[in-house]
Amino acid sequence: MSEVTVMGLGEMGSAIARAFIDKGLKTTLWNRTKSKASNLIERGAIYAETPGQALKMSPVTVICLSSYEDTNHILKDLSPGELEGKTIIQLTSGIPSDVRKLSNLMDGFGAKYLDGAILAWPRQMGTDEAVICLSGSSQVLKGNEDTLKKLATLNYVGEDISKASALFSAVLGYLSYHWIGFCHGVRICESEGIDVSLYGKVISELAPVLGVDSVHMSKVISEGKFHNPESTLKTAGTDIIRLVDHAKDTGLSLEMAEFAARIFKRGIDQGHGAEEHAAIIKVMV
Ligand code: NDP
């Protein structure tokens, strides 16, 4: 028997397994492609040939696959007895409806279920830099806290099983524009002959300010207090709308500049120009 099973040995699953093994947990592994387990077996892990055997080996199984569909596909073929009384911690990313479906499946199997969303890169797993948002029964979390703390700092979102995944979706909504926005800036640098690494450094120096702005915006929006701006929606919007002219000057695609400009222009046109920049939320449904 082992203390924990890890199912899924992609980039993230392997990092999870490595963190458990390096921190002294007796770990069983299963992956569709067995060869990915070789290094981890050399580090002391046990390999199980089937998902059923892998689950049997430990009281708790951490799953990290590409999608909930993959997880359902693997678990639904097990006989009910194989999951009864076991704890499943799903760290695969998904959306709340995926989580609720899996939760129903787990209830039917008599298994305990925690759902988590990883906010980290694989290389951060097992360090103070990694965060995992978790939701589900606080009792089940209590019983598995020591194991999960070997991976990351835990951010418990509540008993509602789908909340961690909902929060992850919100974070992903933000990150999608971070990645696209960063590359939009790269294109502007290239069009003006600016070294992209200088741009990366400037954004990194700005990162703490953006952290403060996130807290500020969430406070302004949740309290509905948009009337005391340090920077108005019109000031920010005018700067952003000007990027359309810059794209025209340099021959860059107008797609990104026009997208952002359209939303800010709507904010100004609908009379929110004198309010906080966070008032842009008022024209986003
Ligand atoms: P990878 O593509 O590296 O690994 C995918 C894993 O899923 C592999 O173990 C693969 O098995 C398995 N898999 C895929 N399809 C099936 C299937 N039909 N049946 C059985 N197994 C299957 O992805 P990551 O490890 O990077 O990501 C895994 C999860 O972690 C995702 O939900 C991702 O969103 C999340 N995550 C990843 C982060 C990252 O930076 N990588 C950051 C935060 C979250 P096989 O090896 O056989 O192909």
Structure tokens at 215: 């807290």
Per-residue pLDDT band at 177 (split at 50, 70, 90): very high
Ligand 1 mutation pick, 63, 64, 78, max ligand atoms within 8 A of CB: 64
Write the CA distances from 90 to 65, 103, 159, integer angstroms: 9, 10, 15
As a whole number, the mean pLDDT across the chain is 97
Tell me which residue has its CA closest to atom 40 in ligand 1: 121
> For residue 228, is pLDDT > 90?
no
With a CB cutoff of 8 Å and minimum separation 6, the contacts of 185 are 199, 203
Arithmetic mean of pLDDT, 194-199 = 98
Ligand 1, residues 5, 18, 32: which to mutate, most atoms within 8 A of Cβ? 32
CA distances to 102, 105, 133, 189, 253 from 185, rounded to whole Å, are 40, 45, 30, 6, 12
Atom number of ligand 1 nearest to Cα 94: 32
Q: What is the pLDDT of residues 161-171, one digit of tens each?
A: 999 999 999 99
pLDDT tens for each residue of 69-119:
999 999 888 887 899 999 999 999 999 999 999 999 999 999 999 999 999
Average pLDDT of span 174-178: 97
Q: Give the single-character DSSP code of 232.
A: B
